[in-house]
Structures are given as C-alpha cells and as structure tokens.
Structure 1
Amino acid sequence: MNYQLRREKLRASLDQAEIGQVLIQNLDNIYYFSGFNALVTSRPMGLVISREKACLIVPIVAADSARKEAGDMDIAVYYEHPVGEQAEIGFYASLAKTLATGTQGGNIGVEAGKFSLDNLKILNELGLQPQDISRHLQQLRAIKEPEELDAIRTAARYVDYCVEKSVAEIRQGISEVEIDRAGVCALNKQTAADLPGASVACFSMSLSGAARSVMLHASSGGRKIRPGDAVVLCRQVAINGYWAQCDRTVFLGKPTPEQLKYFSLVQAAHAAAVEIIRQGIIASQIDQVIRAVYEKAGVAKYFLHRSGSGFGIGTTEIPHLSFDSKDLINGNMALVIQPALYIPGVGGFRYSDTVFVKDGGNEIISRFPKDINTMAVTSNTPD
C-alpha cells in the first residue's frame, strides 16, 4: 500500500477548500493514511497531515508498533508517567504542539464524529477553524486500489474456510460457542501456516433455533443444537486489516416446508441483488430489488435492516445499501450484500456475501456454497 501517495491525494483534494491541515482520529482512517493498524484502547491517537508533513500522535504503549508500521512519517509520543520536562504528558499537550508547527490559522479538516470539546479548545487557541471532512474521507476509501482488492480477496478465502470448518462441526448437542471455536481455531491454525507474520482478526456469531436465530445482533451462547434447528452463521475475517464477510444459514436435518420457503425467498433476493450490481447504479436500487422479492411474497416486514454496505478496512463503509441511500456504485468498490428474513416462531435466514464491483458487472468473492444440499447437514444427525 502506498500511504504517502494517499496523503498526497488528500492534500491535493483539500487545497481547493483552502484546508491547510487535517486532524484524523478515526482508527480506520489513521490506518488508511499511515499504515499504522492501532489496537483499540482508551488512549486517544491522532494523525495530523499538513502541506509539509505528516505526524502520528500515539501513546508510549503504541510507540514501537507505530514506528514499525508508519516509519515514513514523524511519530510524536505522549506519556502518562513522569519522564522529564521535555516530554509531552497526555495526548492534548502533544496535539497542541504538533498543530502549532503547521499552518497558522485558517481551516483544518476534522472528523465530526471524533471531534471533542478538548479538540475545539486547542483549535480556538491556535486560530484554526474546524471543517468536517468525514464524508470526503469515506469517499476516498470507498473505491479500492488493486492492492486493497487483493487483500480483501485473501480475507474472503479465509472467511470461506472459517465457515466451512464451522459447518463441519454442526451436530446434535454441540453448543453455539463450540461451533464458533471450531471455526476460529481452524482459521488461526491455517493462517499461521499460510501467512506467518500476518495480522488476523475474526468476528464469529452462531445463533440457533427459532427464538435465537431471529436476533439480528447477539452473542453466541451455550444453547445446544437440536434436530430441525436453523443455525445462522455470521463470519467476518480480516487479514492485515482488510475484511471480508460470509454468512450462511444451516439446518440440522431436512428443513421443514416452511423453513425451505423462507430459505428460497432469501436465495431469490440474493440472486436479484447480484443481477443488478454494476457501476453506475444508485445503492438504493440494490435494496429495492431485494425488498421487491419480499414484498411480492408478503414478507417484507420481516427484513429489518439495510441490504449491505461497503467493506474494506471497516466493516461498514460507504456505499450504504439502504432504501434511502443516494450513494453511487462505482467500479472497484467492495460490497457486502445481506439479504435476510427474520420470521418469529420459525427462525432467521441470512446469506451475506462479499462482492466486487467490476467493469460490466460484479464478482462474488466469498464462495462457500449456499445451496440447500450443502446447507442441510444430515451426516451428523443421529438416526
């Protein structure tokens, strides 16, 4: 990844708005422009990009990692223990010193969602006027570079593997958390062998039965799988900071006619979305075709969230595939499409895939099968 080129593009794009420097505090954006993949902690961090240079402000606990991953820029370290008069104690002291060396007065780009009153006080003292550039940063990240697409494709290969190993463990009497553990342990073992030195992260959720599989967001628990259950598997895997997602709904045993009905509807909605995804459409059109399938069947009220979003460094990026989205779909975007139904008393049915927008169409890069023969697990069901 060419982080310096990204910073140059940012500088050039903000010159027209007469923004002389930028303060970035969203960790995903910091990674995008610096290469520093920070761990989430209670300690604030910041990336200041001026016309002349870039400076990453980090706590002492992150200093070694920052120097290793973002070595092409200045690193300002702040402390939380007494180290002498020359050291900066605390983030805001270090931020004030860093900003004071940049453009005096004028406009500074900030992320409104990460901007605090403490930040505002410092900017006021330096005569800097904050301008929200959050949307602009999102737009820069939305269209992926070839290296980013390669990274997401790698993540998709391993998210498929995690799903595969999770499905293989589904049987009567196993708990949701044990299904999670099987997939995640297999993933960690395989990536350690294939990609030594890579950073690997995983989100895993397995919800089973009529009452739990309809939960949109929940933690896997100790409930044990029973014959006839639908099990919603949600898997997200990141390799070196780039994510891919694959969700599948698996049945222990032969699905009932009612389960098969909703399974087939979600599959049809998925196919309708894939059919229209291409550059030049509006994101809301993807949501519309999915909902149209459900409306025709009289079940649209059971689709309770948007149809997906952009994916990459973040697991929710623009474009947002919602009914009211005005985001334009462009080539080299990475999307996750998430058609689903949540039927009270019956269960949840969810199929998510990671998709690349390409010239003339799209490519589904999460490829674990979703046909009913694969999704109905019978080999592990007692006779």
Structure 2
Amino acid sequence: MDAATTLYTSERIAAVRASTAAAGIDALVITPGAELRYLTGYDAHASERLTALVVPAEGPATLIVPRLERPLAASSPLPGTGVGIVDFGDGVNPYALLASFLDEHVGSGRRVIGAAERMWASHWHGIEAAVPSASLAMAATVLSPLRMVKSAAEVAELTRAAEAIDRVHTRMGEWLRPGRTEREVAADIKAAIVEEGHTAVSFAIVAAGPNGASPHHGVSDAVIESGQPVVVDIGGVVDTGYGSDCTRTYCVGQTPADFNDYYGALRAAHQAGVDAVRPGVTASSVDAATRAVLTDAGYGEFFTHRTGHGIGLDGHEAPYIVDGDDTVLAPGMAFSIEPGVYIPGRHGARIEDIVVCTETGVTRLDTLPTEVTIL
C-alpha cells in the first residue's frame, strides 16, 4: 500500500464533515494550500482561477476546478477520498457554480462558510458577491485540531523527512570551511537536501559569527572565518509534502570562550524541552521548561523566540510551543524543540529537533548528537 492510500482517505473527509457540523459551520470552502492537500492529497496551484473544495456539513464533498487543471486533480490521490470533481471553462463564473452547489447541499438561507486559512482575498470577495447571505468563519477551527494529531502514516512521512535532513547535517564537513561564503555553503546544502531524499528545499540558513545572533538571518556573502560558530538551520519536503526542520551549530576551528560559556546551558535547555513532552501537559509548559534552564544560567534575555512550532504539511503549524498556547499535548502531535542563544555582535547558537508526543512520552525524529561539531 503506497503512502497516498494511507494518508488521504474517505475516513478523513468523514471526520472533517462531522467536525464541521459540530462547529456550527454549514460548509468548508478550501482553496489551494496545505489544508486542501491534507484533505485530498491534491497539491493544487493557487491562481486567479478558483480551485475550491466544498465540504458541506451534510452532503458530498466536491472539488470545483478549472477545466484545464482537471487532469491534475484526477491524477492526484483525490479520487480515492471519494471527493467528486466539477470543472468549469474560462469565461464561466466559478463563484456562481459554488453558490449553486451550496444552494443544493446546504440550503439558500443564511450560511456559515469556513474559509481556508490562506484563501486569496479576491476569491473570498467573489464568494461574498455570489453568496451574499454567507458569513465567514475560519476553516482552521475545524481543521487545526485534526491536523495537529498526526496519524501513524503522517509520522512515518515526518520520520522519512527527518532522516533525510539528518543525512545532510552529517555531510556538513564537505562544505563548511574558512574562506567560503555563507551563500556558497548554502548552495551546496540545498543540492544535498534534494540528493538525500527531499523533492524540494524549504530553506537553508547559514549564519556565521555575528550573523548567528540573528535567528532568521538566511544567507549573505559574508566569508566564514576560522574560529567562528556557524548556525545551520535547514529543511525540505518529501514527495508527500511532509517537511523536515533541523538546526545544528558548528564551529570552524576552536570555539570562542564566550560561546563555550553558554553552549552547555543551551544543550541542557534543549534536553529539558524534550524531556518535558508527554501527553496531558500544555504546549506552554514545554516552553517554560526549556526557557527556565537558560534563564537560570543567566541567558534568558538572549533566547528571543518561542521554543517550537508544529510541523506537517506546513513548516509552521499548530501547536506552537510558546507561552500562552495552552494546547494540551496528545499522542501524535509533532513539533520542534529549538532553543537558541543569540549574543548581539558576537555569535549565536541553536539546537533544533522535531519530536513527536507519544502515549508514554516523546520520540525525537532527528537523532543527531547535540554537541557542537568542530570542523
């Protein structure tokens, strides 16, 4: 049985339909993005032409799709989910088609439509004009709780992605050395991300020396110097759309003394975060456990972002491991643990793994050692 068969099922559509009804929403309207792929396996192209999956609380789920893209939808896993396809040609008003479908399967009164989280505003305005009685809700109200808890098949895909990105990190010595620029190293890393099993690169941060103090630095033409710590945060997606995200910190030559002062505390904070994960605790409590270690060591002010984020078909999705997110962790939730220390003008470090909450605790999908690697 291939991955698509186990990932995209009629049972998933049925669960979403039941959750839609329970939320008091009459229908979901899902345009291209991770939500559409989660429901159907169809990785649709977003454009000015409307592509929209309509999932009524009661009634058949149907994909409205431009006629020229129907073959793409039909060749995706979508037909195996039981979702029907209705196409339209150029010159036809797709919003009127959607309104007609809602009239048939929801009724013609006031309707609550759960819109895709990242629906283009132009499409929502088109729906509003065609369905003036509609009121807007967020489809994420229904979909986010379901997407947070990964099935065994989804965990398998995240594991495959994590193993592939770990293999890239083990090759860092091939590229990271003094005299090369961050951009040159990143280009080699991006090629390796695909070589090691991803179908696309999501990002490749290579941040040397002072640039390591900027958590989302990216890359530059800065030349890597001997004795500089280098933060390398990389990720990609495998063919089913599930992603990887792993950060390690390297040093070309001897590590600076002030770097050594905080790196041990960073490793302890990362381990504390991993150890705090188990069913029944809140996302915010994991953040607190991680942050407390760095605060107690005197580096709390230099940990400037949340401890982590969920991952799946989106690189960042719920739950968020941050103060204020009181999501109760449950088996199947997958997210990063990624504390960092960033010393302005000097350097920085981050350790990031993807973990999965299990029935008994936690599993790390990224299994590399967390010591700084000297190259």
TM-score by length of 2: 0.88
State which drifts further: 224-233 or 61-70: 61-70
Residue 195 of structure 1 is matched in structure 2 by: none
Residue 223 of structure 1 is matched in structure 2 by: 222
Corresponding position: 1:310 with 2:310: yes
Choose which of 101, 105, 119 in structure 2 pairs with 1:102: 105
Q: Which runs of 5+ in 2 are unaligned?
A: 1-6
- CA 1:44–1:176 in 2, change beyond 3 Å: closer, same or farther? farther
Equivalent residues in 2 for 1:20-99 (5 A)?
Answer: 20-25=26-31, 27-41=33-47, 43-50=49-56, 51-60=58-67, 62-69=69-76, 70-71=78-79, 72-80=82-90, 88-89=92-93, 91-99=94-102
Residue 120 of structure 1 is matched in structure 2 by: 128
- CA 1:17–1:173 in 2, change beyond 3 Å: closer, same or farther? closer
Corresponding position: 1:214 with 2:213: yes
Residue 252 of structure 2 is matched in structure 1 by: 252
Deviations 1:258-303 (A, max 9, x none): 1112222211110111111111001111111121112112221111
| 1:75 counterpart SS class | strand
State which drifts further: 229-238 or 69-78: 69-78
- CA 1:219–1:10 in 2, change beyond 3 Å: closer, same or farther? same
- The offset of 1:167, in angstroms, is 4.2
Residue 381 of structure 1 is matched in structure 2 by: none
Kept in 1: contact 2:311–2:335 (CA 8 A): yes
Kept in 2: contact 1:23–1:108 (CA 8 A): no
Equivalent residues in 2 for 1:242-321 (5 A)?
Answer: 242-321=242-321
Kept in 2: contact 1:340–1:351 (CA 8 A): yes
- CA 1:76–1:180 in 2, change beyond 3 Å: closer, same or farther? farther
Kept in 2: contact 1:155–1:243 (CA 8 A): yes
- The offset of 1:94, in angstroms, is 4.1
Kept in 1: contact 2:28–2:115 (CA 8 A): no
Kept in 1: contact 2:113–2:134 (CA 8 A): no
Residue 3 of structure 2 is matched in structure 1 by: none
Aligned partner letter, 1:74 = G
- CA RMSD in angstroms, aligned pairs only: 2.2
Residue 189 of structure 2 is matched in structure 1 by: 183
- CA 1:58–1:262 in 2, change beyond 3 Å: closer, same or farther? farther
Corresponding position: 1:111 with 2:115: yes
Corresponding position: 1:159 with 2:165: yes
Q: Which runs of 5+ in 1 are unaligned?
A: 83-87, 192-198, 378-383
TM-score by length of 1: 0.86
Q: Give the Cα–Cα distance (whole angstroms) in 1 for the partners of residues 193 and 125 of structure 2.
A: 42
- CA 1:186–1:73 in 2, change beyond 3 Å: closer, same or farther? same
Corresponding position: 1:368 with 2:375: no
Q: Give the Cα–Cα distance (whole angstroms) in 1 for the partners of residues 60 and 180 of structure 2.
A: 55
| 2:363 counterpart SS class | strand
Q: Give the Cα–Cα distance (whole angstroms) in 1 for the partners of residues 346 and 97 of structure 2.
A: 56
- The offset of 1:140, in angstroms, is 0.8
- CA 1:287–1:26 in 2, change beyond 3 Å: closer, same or farther? farther
Aligned residues: 359
Q: Give the Cα–Cα distance (whole angstroms) in 2 for the partners of residues 167 and 266 of structure 1.
A: 23
Aligned partner letter, 2:102 = L
Q: Give the Cα–Cα distance (whole angstroms) in 2 for the partners of residues 149 and 78 of structure 1.
A: 37
Q: Give the Cα–Cα distance (whole angstroms) in 2 for the partners of residues 166 and 324 of structure 1.
A: 36
Q: Give the Cα–Cα distance (whole angstroms) in 2 for the partners of residues 167 and 234 of structure 1.
A: 15
Kept in 2: contact 1:123–1:129 (CA 8 A): no
Q: Give the Cα–Cα distance (whole angstroms) in 2 for the partners of residues 244 and 350 of structure 1.
A: 16
Deviations 1:214-254 (A, max 9, x none): 22223322222110111111111211111121111111111
